[in-house]
A and B are shown apart, each in its own frame.
Chain A
Amino acid sequence: MTVEEQVRDIVAKITRVDKSIITRQSTFKEIKADSLDVVQALVAVEETFGIEIPDEEAQKFQNFGDFVSYVESRVAQEEKV
């Protein structure tokens, strides 16, 4: 399972939307994610991948793709270490 697939599963489970409608271009609003959903998704992703996502970074995410790209880069960094 790729990072993107895992993050999509997490977001779909929390927002209870069909994961097939979540694309990299989807905004959190389009996925019907409210501020609590976003926090819960961040926490779940942090625990799944063993990373920390500072709120300052999370606030920059415009869409699902930004979220995935950030997680991918952090996971790649962790693997190098």
Chain B
Amino acid sequence: MSLEGKLALVTGSGRGIGRAIALKLASQGADIIVNFFRHRDSAEQTAKDIEALGVKAEVIRANVGDPVKIDEMFDTIGNKFGRLDILISNAASGVGRPVVDIDVKAWEWTMDINARALLLCAQRAVKLMEGRGGKIVSISSLGSRFVLPNYTIVGVSKAALEALTRYLAIELAPQNICVNTVAASAVETEALKFYFKEGLVKDNRQATPAGRMVVPEDVANVVAFLCSEEAFMIRGQTIIVDGGTSAGLFTLAGKGE
């Protein structure tokens, strides 16, 4: 699989899953636009590591929860490159609360970053993919279909993301744009430590049938495949990367030991 000459935007790629995806696509020859919001140092480091692989990296700061910032980011990409081949909508945020404590602010914050950003980024990306086709891959989680403690808003936002992926896939198919999402269980990242603290995710590393936690590279490998021509006939799908957790309900309930 080669992505030589392709240009990919990976939102939230300073750290964690986004960084692993950016490095994976770069290792296959793609130039990468590293988007970040809160951690410039991490984004600069990701860019350095991408360049060390012999491809180009561009760092752009933007809060994808803000439509104006999304527009500014795509204006920059349009002016500088005039094209885009791959959009990875990875940036995510969340507020961990029981259902009864969810307020409008927490709901909108999470939905705007996790779900609406895919819509707005895809709308702008399509224009830069015109006449050349492209790939759009977003990152979801098992919480879209299974109930996790205090995970309501994030889970609902990911369900919206998966539904949106199906609509985008069908409507953009005539433009030769493949759209899919990759849903992971708890992935071993810095963010996970935060989720443990917030009570969003339980430590289930012992209960994963594959015998270890999902790591960012596991997700990145599937994303890279979906960005390849070999995956041309996969459209509108949610591909689960969870080491088997969701296939055995007893493991999801944390009783797999």
Contacts and interface: CB of A to CB of B under 8 A. Distances in A.
Contacts of B39: 54-55
Contacts of A35: 95
A36 B97 CA distance: 12
A40 B109 contact: yes
A52 interface: yes
Contacts, number: 17
B38 A55 contact: yes
- Most interface-central of B38, B106, B109 (chain A CB within 10 A): B38
Given A36-B105, A36-B106, A36-B109, A43 B63 contact: yes
B114 to A, nearest CB: 14
- Most interface-central of A36, A40, A52 (chain B CB within 10 A): A36
Interface size of A as a range: under 10
Interface residues of B, number: 10
A73 B61 CA distance: 22
Contacts of A36: 95, 105-106, 109
B151 to A, nearest CB: 15
B132 interface: no
Interface in B34-86: 38-41, 61, 63
A81 B235 CA distance: 51
A55 B191 CA distance: 13
Contacts of B40: 52, 54
Contacts of A55: 38-39
Contacts of B41: 54
Interface in B9-42: 38-41
Nearest to B198: A35
A14 to B, nearest CB: 8
A52 B41 CA distance: 11
Contacts of B109: 36, 40
Contacts of B38: 39, 54-55
Given A39-B38, A40-B105, A54-B38, 14 more contacts: A35-B95, A36-B95, A36-B105, A36-B106, A36-B109, A40-B109, A43-B63, A52-B40, A52-B61, A54-B39, A54-B40, A54-B41, A55-B38, A55-B39
Sorted from nearest, which 3 A-B pairs have the closest CB atoms?
Answer: A36-B95, A55-B38, A36-B106
Interface of A: 35-36, 39-40, 43, 52, 54-55
12 contacts: A35-B95, A36-B95, A36-B105, A36-B106, A36-B109, A40-B109, A52-B40, A52-B61, A54-B39, A54-B40, A54-B41, A55-B38
